Every structure is written in C-alpha cells, then in structure tokens.
C-alpha cells in the first residue's frame, strides 16, 4: 500500500478553544513549526473562514532561492474541532497555485483543560508533475511530533514559551 498521509497525535494541557485560537493565529505558526522553515507571517490577521488565504515567508537551504514565500488557503475551518489548509504559491500574475498537499489539525476535547491534537500531512492530491522534483513527505519523521511538542508548549497555562507572534524568525543556518 502506498501511504500518502502521515500524522501524529498528542494530548496537550489546554482547552480545545485555546488550542484552536493558537492554530488560527498565523503569528504563532513559526513557533509551532517543527522544521524551522517558517520565518514569519506575511498576513497576520487571524484565520476565520474557509477560502481565506494567508502567506508565510519561508527559508529552506535546498530551495533554489533559499528564501521563498508560500500561500496557504483554508480548506477546513470548524472551531474548535478542526483547521486545515492547502499550501502553494502565488505566481507573478497574482494567480494562486496549490500543490495538492494539506496540513490539518483535528482537536478532541478531553475535558476543560485537556485536548487531543492530531496533526496530519496529506499529499495524496499532489500531481505527478510535482512528484518528479519533490520528495514526499519533504521532511523527516520527527517533524509532526516536534510541531505538536511546540504547540503544547505554547498553549500550556504555565508555559514560559513566548506567546504567539513573540518568536524571532529561526531555522536559518
């Protein structure tokens, strides 16, 4: 069987509403990211609806330009249960083009201050033309668990972690 999704699950010490609020805040995404590729949000407004587009400045040593920008389009928005987005890029003419991979967080409340969070990366809709030059998934096996660990630190009530938007851009060698 050719598996085209990967996921990780973790229980965090926060309400589903608190976790969802952090995930719906693009300024928190660099602090959550387990790869260090996300540098900072271009669009800082909270995520509020399906179809909303938000952009991120990125850095990856293997990217032809090093620095690049992605456009994300909300596909799932069900507060406080699920949020997900497609990732792509904006062409020179302003047209958005998405590669077929989806990031999705599913939240299951386990009580007033505990939530089970599942992060899924799904590349089943990536066309063959993209698969010819990109390996999927494009990150190591620890990425999703690292991201959930960072999320747990951000939402923990006694966390010393920086608040959303308070992280300096990182990941650059």
Q: How does pLDDT run across 94-109, given as a tens digit for each residue? A: 899 998 999 999 999 9
Assign residue 127 the CATH number of its domain.
3.30.530.20
> How large is the C-alpha radius of gyration of the chain?
16
Distances (CA, A) of 4 to 11, 47, 75, 138: 24, 27, 18, 12
| For residues 156-170, average pLDDT | 53
Q: Is the pLDDT of residue 153 over 50?
A: yes
- The CB-side HSE value for 70 (13 A sphere, CA atoms) comes to 22
- Tell me the residue range of the domain where 124 lies: 5-155
Residue 128 lies in a domain: yes
Residues 54, 72 contacting (CB under 8 angstroms): yes
pLDDT score, position 134: 82
Residue 145 lies in a domain: yes
Residue 21 lies in a domain: yes
Q: What is d(CA 62, CA 27) in angstroms, rounded to the nearest whole number?
A: 24
Beta-bridge partner residues of 111: 114
- For 73, the enclosing helix (H) or strand (E) is strand 67-78
| For residues 51-61, average pLDDT | 86
Band the pLDDT of 47: cuts 50, 70, 90: very high
Residue 107 lies in a domain: yes
pLDDT score, position 80: 97
Structure-model confidence comparison of residues 94 and 62, the more confident one: 94
Q: Is the pLDDT of residue 163 over 50?
A: no
Q: Would you state the torsion angle of the CA atoms of residues 90, 92, 94, 97, taken in this order, to the nearest 10 degrees?
A: -40
Structure-model confidence comparison of residues 143 and 67, the more confident one: 143
| For residues 132-159, average pLDDT | 88
């Amino acid at each position: 069987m050719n598996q085209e999704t990967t996921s990780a699950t973790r229980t965090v010490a926060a309400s589903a509403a608190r976790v969802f609020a952090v995930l719906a805040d693009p300024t928190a995404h660099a602090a959550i990211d387990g790869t260090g590729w996300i540098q900072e949000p271009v669009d800082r407004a909270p995520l509020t609806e399906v179809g909303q587009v938000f952009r991120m400045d990125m850095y990856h040593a293997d990217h032809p330009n090093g620095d690049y920008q992605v456009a994300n389009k909300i596909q799932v928005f069900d507060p406080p249960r699920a949020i997900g987005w497609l990732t792509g890029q904006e062409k020179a003419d302003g047209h958005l083009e998405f590669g077929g991979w989806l990031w999705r967080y599913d939240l299951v409340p386990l009580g007033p201050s505990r939530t089970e969070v599942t992060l899924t990366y799904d590349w089943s809709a990536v066309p063959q033309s993209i698969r010819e030059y990109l390996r999927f998934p494009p990150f190591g096996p620890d990425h999703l668990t690292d991201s959930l660990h960072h999320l747990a630190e951000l939402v923990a009530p006694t966390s010393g972690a920086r608040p959303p938007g308070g992280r300096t851009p990182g990941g650059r060698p």
